[in-house]
Amino acid sequence: MTNQIQSSNNKKKFDLEERTAKFGEEIIEFAKSLPAEVVNRPLISQLVRAATSIGANYMEADGAESKRDFNHKISTCKKESKETKHWLRMIAKANPDKKEECRKFWQEAHEFCLIFSAIIRSKK
């Protein structure tokens, strides 16, 4: 029974649909913790849009109608992952007390970039 649970947990770790959705949810919660100040408002908005778009575009890629459509959606996932890293950097600058949290999210967004790059390379 324990092996089944561990196997299930490992599957979830590598389930990109779940992983990107969880990332988006965590970013939403993080964004709620930031002060809604004049500098933060546009940064928060951009971060939430980019970070939640990763999962949405991955789901679209999963249901792609053609190889070209799949490649386009996966490329968009990579682009949104890179954009998320940028907004996290800006938020860390505007909120030095949140730097460590931003670093954790930045690392996950970076891993998404690497994953989507590998998918793109493998589909050429």
User: What mean pLDDT is predicted for residues 101-117?
Assistant: 98
For tokens 């967004």, the residue is 109
**Cβ partners under 8 Å of residue 69, min gap 6:** 61
Look up the pTM and report it. 0.86
pLDDT for 6 equals 40
Q: What is the pLDDT of residues 13-57, one digit of tens each?
A: 569 999 999 999 999 999 999 999 999 999 999 999 999 999 999
Cα(109)–Cα(39) distance, integer angstroms: 22
Q: What is the pLDDT of residues 50-68, one digit of tens each?
A: 999 999 999 999 999 999 9
Instruction: Determine whether domain 19-28+39-122 maps to CATH 1.20.1440.60.
Output: yes
For tokens 């992983």, the residue is 19
User: What mean pLDDT is predicted for residues 67-77?
Assistant: 96
